[in-house]
Structure 1
């Protein structure tokens, strides 16, 4: 289980999806509204909005909810959210990047710092870990989209930088600038993506042993349960045998 794949967003725990459905829609809706407010309210002319809409669809958000979130950006009553990124370290020395959208920086900072410190980690200054990551575009497809060769050829033709395939699916990496165009090209050949977003790709992975894995997973869950936290990225790799022991 790698930090940039299995835990790339708040949809990773399918078993708890019903319980988290409302919170999930809230986070997805917030991102759609912020993206629409930062540019044109047209997904075809706003790459970030298109990515947010694709993520909302992948999360099962109804079309009317997505449209409502876009329209909300043009209203006078829309909340003013700002993006705040936190960086730090988790159990086992793993690096974490925590992306938030908040209307109250003090509340968010307190919640994030408390979650990290209570679960074997500590926050660092801005830039303390991001130098070990690369800002990239990430397009995810399920395994049913095709075998590794088919997806690789489609990604190459679309102009992607790299492809990582496994039994669970395909992760296609692009430059930030080409994310929108590559996603459009892939949609024509592979269908709609499971997820399209800006990501933090770690350079070197840190293998996490059994002693630290349980605390790390608890930390990630705690962060992702916070309404202000949008995504948690990390350079951790938890071996399958360790995951099996943890249940």
Structure 2
């Protein structure tokens, strides 16, 4: 007699596991701890086998019967449902490993020793905001240029053209990492170099007329702010360094006898020598 929801709910645990038969080889196994597990008993190539169909109540009676019927269809087609289930799991694991997100994160991990933590954080943030939500779960080998172009146009449409170009280059490097590791065979982002119009470079305001430069330097002498800022203002035109690098300068980097300052350039992490 087929099972009912009432009978399943009332099934209490016993000292040993026991079964409640349904139909078509399916049954509910009740464990001493109270767990209720759907199973399908079947024969394939003359051998008796078992197939797990899920746990009650996560898998309802109706859902378990659907899984049983699906397994029976596979048997009728000469396919072992247990092996088919294993193959599906392998395919899911492979898809997760071969997703663009997994490959891109692998590229970032490989890049970590060669870039600053801040630079890496910005790259990852760009991908999490603008790339992963759209193509992150896609198998990397199946992504084509039009898909990537859609991602780039979405970034460009909000007025972030420079970011769109930067992201295209980073996507391309992620694909080249994937090629090296055997996840894909070509880099579709490479063909999109000119797909987005060039970004308009906006330079910071600057004083270039000698007379005005002199006036600016004299204005520094009359600066009434804090002493550290006054020192920075006077050092900047002599050292020609980035404001952030000057602000983070440490005494250990200076050789006052030689008049030298050695520090790491922010963008390239290479040593730079400044003297005055």
TM over 0.5: no
TM-score of the aligned structures, taking structure 2 as reference length: 0.18
Higher helix fraction (1 or 2) = 2
TM-score of the aligned structures, taking structure 1 as reference length: 0.19
Greater length-normalized contact order (CA 8 Å, ≥ 6 residues apart)? 1
Which protein shows a greater Rg?
2
Higher strand fraction (1 or 2) = 1
